[in-house]
Amino acid sequence: MRIEAVFQIFAALAVAVNASPLSLTTRHVVHERRSEPPPRWSRHTRLHPAATIPVRIGLAQQNLHRAEEFINEVAHPDSPDYGKHWSKEKVADMFAPAPETVDSVKEWLHSSGIDPSRIGMSRSRNWLKFDATVAEAERLLKTEYHLYRHEMGHNHIACESYSIPDHLTEHVDIVTPTVHFDTRIGSPRKTMKHKNLPEPVLELNRMAKRDLATRPLHGLLGSELDASNPKQGAEIKNALMTLANCDTMITPACLQALYDAPPNTLSMPNNSLGVVEYTPQAFLQGDLNMYFKQFSPSQDGVSPDTHLIDGASIQTKNQSFNFNGESALDLEFAMTLIFPQQVTLFQVGDLVNGGSFNNFLDALDGSYCTFEGGDSKDPNIDGQYPDTMPGGFDGPEACGTVQSTNVISTSYSSNEADLTAKYEQRQCLEYMKLGLQGVSILYSSGDFGVAGNSGQCINPVTGAYNNGSSGIFNPSFPGTCPYITSVGATQVLNGSTVRSPESASERVIFSGGGFSNVFPMPSYQKSALATYFANHAPPYGADRFNNSQTVRGYPDVSANGVNYVVAVDGQFSLAFGTSASCPTFASLVNMINAQRINAKKSPVGFLNPTLYANPQVLNDITVGGNQGCGTQGFTSVEGWDPVTGLGTPNYPAMLDLFMSLP
Ligand SMILES: *[C@@H]1O[C@H](CO)[C@@H](O)[C@H](O)[C@H]1NC(C)=O
Ligand SMILES: *[C@@H]1O[C@H](CO)[C@@H](O)[C@H](O)[C@H]1NC(C)=O
Ligand SMILES: *[C@@H]1O[C@H](CO)[C@@H](O)[C@H](O)[C@H]1NC(C)=O
Ligand SMILES: *[C@@H]1O[C@H](CO)[C@@H](O)[C@H](O)[C@H]1NC(C)=O
Ligand SMILES: *[C@@H]1O[C@H](CO)[C@@H](O)[C@H](O)[C@H]1NC(C)=O
């Protein structure tokens, strides 16, 4: 009650002192809306009107309608320009928003009382950014901001919907923070120059700060509750090295045998393999050493080349499979498979905020986030970092300061339905831009079959998540982004050897797969999906998935994801997941790049157009399914399917193919 009362007094003050009130003639239209908070989040207190939030406006970019044409130029095997990747500058110039877009949005801000001197702009003119009081942002966007609280205690600033003037809808992609729950907004930690605020308002600001300071020491992606973490199996007392046991224990030698990949021998400059981890997920050097002693003795003591992004740390305080399993699995297998080539670990997010996929993209691409002349020293323009909360990272947000690797493997995923379509489209286009620059981006497809993380599906009436016993299939993101390579999981059947065909994973985890509710079908999938629907039409209607045959299907490829022997917290145990298959596939792509670089060719970059045009370089998987949502899910069949994609790597065939390209 007290907060409301003071709010009203302050709102009246704010209007009285505002020099240039909003034009009353501008007609606003709803730009984005979310019906209810994501699972486990609930709406908490209304934000204090004098608190400050960092507002970012993502401007509509030019030439995006040509994105597929451009990517095919550099990534389609029939293109004369295959492998001729673009520079960062060429990418930024091609997609920079039109001057008219920049001008009209700036004009709106100015006429709404945001002085141009407060507005920062990205080098590529992609984003406008300024700090605003909650009262200002609420008036600008005709919305109300609340603090949302996660079950685990994490806080987030959001609103249910927001509006912008109707003449700007074509010019603005998204505004943050608003309805999105992926962005990690620290806190309304700095007030602008409101030195003359009445004491009750200042006291409420202090209260809000104390409230925010109670956040637990982690974000969500990479936390011990992240459902994209690998699943733990039995403890292994004696890790067996023979190929006879690959149906119960997967070792690097099993993978090399399954995919006919020789131990790597080449190490090329600038060809490190990128592996992304999100804090507080962390590796322990002792685990790596334990693993290497068993499987690759010459690597004992070797560490990944670690890049700490946005105040990241490799925490050792909390140790358990859920805190260490993902990093151990990814690093132990990738480092062994590609040795003597190095692995680069991109560790993202501090212990307070955690990180999001966008934080990582910001670090790689200055044109996605930097502001004229780099990050401003002005605290009114700085973004989420520095974070002044206790224990928070107080350096500047990483922004175009991190050199990308040729291949990036990420074993984390969320659901498409966690985020808004506009947000996902914008992030997906960022992967397209990395593809143009020759980077291969691989994501795990999820471990819950046609269901989303934790096995949740979508209630067809309310759109909310349910317990997974019924409902609409729940595809994963970024798995459905057409500019990444989505990796599903397979298994060696009980009693089978590495010489017999694998099946889709049906042990502990089911390969994430299905059809997007956001992204249209890319041209490279046209023929594969037409064949799939013609020969193997799935037994479900539009009440389960978008069966229009015009949307993106996933995964693209797969690799073994069952029974990986991993050293975690000082013991060997089994791990399961597309978390395992993704770095395995990425390791083989890294080895192919080494051969191409050695032959004075460019790295392969975006893989999908070449793989879909040459499905013979993958071992087709035709057994198994990916159950979920109370159904058997989809079934692995001859040709591409939404369980195992085109199949698992046939390394010699893949190598020959990519070496034959310019
Ligand atoms: C590695 O990449 C960096 C950045 O693109 C470049 O400046 C450098 O010349 C490259 N080094 C080699 C050996 O190719
Ligand atoms: C992590 O460890 C710290 C210190 O031991 C403890 O206070 C905290 O509760 C742990 N966090 C979780 C999520 O277990
Ligand atoms: C899941 O939800 C359905 C429908 O509400 C209910 O009938 C079923 O008992 C629930 N199952 C579990 C395991 O909670
Ligand atoms: C395969 O082996 C596992 C582990 O021994 C066992 O749990 C599972 O039931 C077996 N599956 C089949 C199909 O035999
Ligand atoms: C399926 O996707 C198509 C193409 O994006 C879209 O037009 C259609 O509305 C979607 N169907 C459903 C039921 O969402």
- C-alpha distances in Å from residue 584, one per residue of 252, 260, 334, 616, 621: 9, 13, 6, 19, 17
620 assigned binding-site residue: yes
- Residue 15: what pLDDT? 36
Is residue 70 in a domain?
A: no
Q: Is the pLDDT of residue 456 over 60?
A: yes
Mean pLDDT of 605-623: 98
Place of tokens 């486990």: 40
Is residue 11 in a domain?
A: no
- Shortest-distance atom of ligand 2 to CA 218: 13
260 assigned binding-site residue: no
Mean pLDDT of 285-295: 98
| Residue after which a domain boundary falls, among 186, 214, 242 | 214
The set of catalytic residues is 326, 330, 579
Check whether residue 207 and residue 240 sit in a common domain: no
- C-alpha distances in Å from residue 643, one per residue of 300, 485, 532: 37, 14, 12
Cα separation, 402 vs 344, in Å, equals 11
Cα separation, 137 vs 135, in Å, equals 6
Is residue 13 in a domain?
A: no
Which residue out of 150, 313, 315, 317 has the highest number of ligand 2 atoms within 8 Å of its CB and is therefore the one to mutate?
317
The CATH number assigned to the domain holding 260 equals 3.40.50.200
164 assigned binding-site residue: no
Q: Is the pLDDT of residue 424 over 50?
A: yes
In terms of DSSP bridges, do strands 514-520 and 551-554 run parallel, antiparallel, or are they unpaired? antiparallel
Please give the tally of structural domains in the chain.
2
- Residue 187: what pLDDT? 34
**CA-nearest residue, atom 5 of ligand 2:** 317
Check whether residue 184 and residue 278 sit in a common domain: no
Check whether residue 208 and residue 248 sit in a common domain: no
Averaged confidence pLDDT in the chain: 86
- Residue 124: what pLDDT? 62
Q: What element of type H or E holds 660?
A: helix 651-660
- Shortest-distance atom of ligand 5 to CA 542: 13
Check whether residue 300 and residue 353 sit in a common domain: yes
The predicted-structure confidence for 199-225, as pLDDT tens digits, reads as follows: 444 444 454 444 444 333 333 788 888
- Shortest-distance atom of ligand 5 to CA 550: 4
How far apart are the CA of 469 and the centre of ligand 3, in A? 6
The predicted-structure confidence for 98-108, as pLDDT tens digits, reads as follows: 999 999 999 99
Check whether residue 296 and residue 150 sit in a common domain: no
Check whether residue 187 and residue 287 sit in a common domain: no
Check whether residue 197 and residue 285 sit in a common domain: no
- Residue 624: what pLDDT? 98
Percent of the chain topping pLDDT 70: 84
pTM of the predicted model as reported, rounded to 2 decimal places: 0.88
Q: Which residues contact ligand 1 via a Cβ below 6 A?
A: 269-270, 403
Cα separation, 39 vs 225, in Å, equals 13
- Residue 194: what pLDDT? 40
Check whether residue 160 and residue 259 sit in a common domain: no
Q: Is the pLDDT of residue 372 over 50?
A: no
How far apart are the CA of 645 and the centre of ligand 5, in A? 22
Confidence of residue 190 (pLDDT cuts 50, 70, 90): very low
Cα separation, 306 vs 294, in Å, equals 23
Ligand 2 and 153: CB distance under 6 A: no
Q: Is the pLDDT of residue 395 over 80?
A: no
Check whether residue 457 and residue 559 sit in a common domain: yes
| Residue after which a domain boundary falls, among 214, 245, 263 | 214
Half-sphere exposure of residue 524: CA atoms within 13 angstroms, side-chain side: 27
- Residue 401: what pLDDT? 66
Q: Is the pLDDT of residue 646 over 50?
A: yes
Cα separation, 394 vs 136, in Å, equals 26
Neighbours of 203 (CB within 10 A): 12
Is residue 378 in a domain?
A: no
Check whether residue 596 and residue 468 sit in a common domain: yes
Check whether residue 450 and residue 351 sit in a common domain: yes
* Range of weakest confidence among 2-11, 192-201, 605-614: 2-11
Range of the domain at 523: 231-365+400-527+555-660
List Cβ neighbours of 202 (8 Å cut-off, separation of 6 or more).
Answer: none
The predicted-structure confidence for 135-148, as pLDDT tens digits, reads as follows: 999 999 999 999 88
Confidence of residue 295 (pLDDT cuts 50, 70, 90): very high
Mean pLDDT of 357-370: 69
Smallest CA-to-CA distance from 328 within 22, 91, 570, 535 is with 570
Is residue 188 in a domain?
A: yes
- Backbone φ and ψ for 42, nearest 5 degrees, come out as -135, 155
Check whether residue 449 and residue 573 sit in a common domain: yes
Mean pLDDT of 381-400: 44
- Shortest-distance atom of ligand 3 to CA 467: 1
- C-alpha distances in Å from residue 324, one per residue of 349, 407, 488, 529: 16, 23, 22, 38
* Range of weakest confidence among 46-55, 175-184, 189-198, 575-584: 189-198
78 assigned binding-site residue: no
Is residue 376 in a domain?
A: no
Confidence of residue 123 (pLDDT cuts 50, 70, 90): low
* Range of weakest confidence among 151-155, 265-269, 526-530: 151-155
| Residue after which a domain boundary falls, among 214, 240, 269 | 214
Is residue 69 in a domain?
A: no
Mean pLDDT of 635-640: 98
* Range of weakest confidence among 237-241, 255-259, 447-451, 505-509: 237-241
Mean pLDDT of 418-438: 94
Is residue 223 in a domain?
A: no
Name the more confident of 463 and 2. Answer: 463
- Which ligand minimizes its atom distance to the CA of 517? 5
Percent of the chain topping pLDDT 90: 71
